[in-house]
Structure 1
């Protein structure tokens, strides 16, 4: 690591450990250590968010959003009306990518019991079995050339939708500290942990309003919101709801209403009532008859002030 870069990184660490910091110090560390993050993929992705603020087309968050998007698209196209996949026919090219994502969602135990093969072998089967036509954006499965067991394995991948957060707050902090250690920077994990909530807030702010490019021309957007997709916090319970990074995308359907997908890709484990200013909760009436209302989370520009998320002035 260059001496000048190391000095700047150490100054940011010292400021964090003093307790007098905001998201700019965390951003500084992500930028200065980006090229020196080694195999720490979570840290590198976080740093890439700072370095490249255009539409993202790669990375852990993009892969998670893309995978869920293709899952819903596949189930809309082939499962909603109990249609079966015509493997012998030309099918959209995205189906092959969807199947490969599905392999990554299977446990080793599932693959052994349901597919009778390892993840690497099943991925190789999919690559070899599906003939692609990039010009028409379609592919076909040579089902006749496959064994019954391999066809069963491919069919199994079409039977479920599985979604889970990309990584946890603990994963990020572990990666963050590991990169600091790898670069021989002076810090106390005990002191840093006193301010871990603010470090995590600084990190998730990078995701707010970020856009992603998905397969087949799809796009997705991330925003900070409640880690409960029941439709917003209830007045009496909002102090129990946690802050999360929510991914959202619209899946168009020919002749049918579009499907809006939402799910939490990162849970901070921080209570919204502890880390968010009251102005971020927007009251919305649900029923005039009962005067029932709920709190929706503000989706405009945000920044951190004294460890609390606030609206950016003027928005």
Structure 2
């Protein structure tokens, strides 16, 4: 692993001291992540978060990029081959996203389980994919070369492995606040930086809010799929006995009834399915930051809200959830809370 030069080490120690004293802002967290990202070694969580911050205009690689693509491919597969449609068959051509789905799923499955079940290591299976899944002639679709597979020792294992991988339910990574803080302190420790873990982690909520702010509105270029993006969001859980026709979702959201969630980083993919626009979403980063503690009343009253149809029952007048997505104009104010500049 690369070593930090002495001049950079001195700068890092100053930033760490500011954080331990609680006398810092989001720019100091940005500085810490930027200066340490080249020295993260194999700490995948720190690498992902720091690269996120470094390239928050438009990213086209990384774990989150893969997770966004994977969530979209899983959505597309399960709707294409749902119960009322023809099932996926190894005898028929299939689109390229199926190949990518198989490759992504292979990364996630346990190597020993895969080897015991299908008699392939993941690396061996990856080589088979490259050799025996081929582009159809004069077509954008792909085929498994079943004739060529006849001459191999494990045709059945390969076919069964393919069928397993496309049905294997693998959800994208959801990082927790404690994991992010552990990744940062682990990287500092590996690089022999001097710090008090207790003092540093006593500032974990402010550190986390800074990271959320730095990651907010990151865009992803997903090539042929479209674009993905990240937004800070939270939701409100309500149980209201009576909701008159005059009541709006905004009034329900703003009132004191119900419970607000913690702040979350939401990732979403805007793509297309059968000619129609579709959006798939998943929570990427979960925090311990209660929205009411870390957002101003101004933000809560003005934030974009999305009432979900499946959360609203016309007969009982119960609202079980209203999503809030923070868009543009957000900043961290002098009281270290998220606010809107309008």
TM range (shorter): 0.7 to 0.9
The RMSD of aligned alpha carbons is 3.3
Q: TM-score, normalised by structure 2?
A: 0.78
2:310 is aligned with 1:302: no
1:45-65 Cα offsets, whole Å, 9 max, x none, are: 222233323311111111111
* Aligned partners of 2:60 and 2:221 also within 8 Å: yes
Q: Which residue of 2 aligns with 1:249?
A: 269
Query: Counterpart of 1:52?
Result: 55
Report if aligned partners of 1:227, 1:267 keep a CA contact under 8 Å in 2.
no
Counterparts in 2 of 1:40-119, with a 5 A limit? 40-79=43-82, 81-107=84-110, 111=114, 115-119=118-122
TM-superposition CA deviations, 1:222-268 (whole Å, max 9, x none): 101127899999663333x121110111231234x432211101111
1:214 paired residue among 219, 222, 240? 222
- Residue 267 (structure 1) aligns with: 286
Normalising to structure 1: TM-score of the pair?
Answer: 0.84
Unpaired runs of 5+ residues, structure 2, are 150-154, 239-248
Is the partner of 1:140 in helix, strand or coil? strand
1:4–1:80 CA distance, 2 compared to 1 (3 A): farther
**Is the 1:165–1:267 contact (alpha carbons within 8 Å) kept by the matching residues of 2?**
no
Deviations 1:180-213 (A, max 9, x none): 1222222100001111111111112222111112
SS of the counterpart of 1:91?
coil
Question: Structure 1 residues 132, 202: CA separation in 2 closer, same or farther (over 3 Å shift)?
Answer: farther
Contiguous gaps of at least 5 residues in structure 1: none
1:277 Cα offset (Å): 1.9
* Structure 2 counterpart of 1:276, from 285, 291, 295: 295
1:24-82 C-alpha deviation (Å, 9 max, x unpaired): 11101111222222222222222223332331111111111111111112223333642
CA distance in structure 1 between the partners assigned to 2:181 and 2:139 by the alignment: 44
Cα shift at 1:218: 2.3
Distance change (3 Å), C-alpha of 1:238 and 1:165: farther
1:237 correspondence with 2:265 = no
In the other structure, the counterpart of 1:186 is: 194
Shift of 1:157: 1.9
Structure of larger gyration radius: 2
Q: Is the 8 A contact 2:33 2:50 kept in 1?
A: yes
Q: Report if the CA contact (8 A) 1:73-1:251 is conserved.
A: no
Please say if 1:25 is aligned against 2:56.
Answer: no
* Counterpart for residue 153 of structure 1: 161
| In structure 2, C-alpha distance between the alignment counterparts of 1:97 and 1:138, rounded to whole Å | 12
Q: Distance in 2 between matches of 1:252 and 1:229?
A: 30
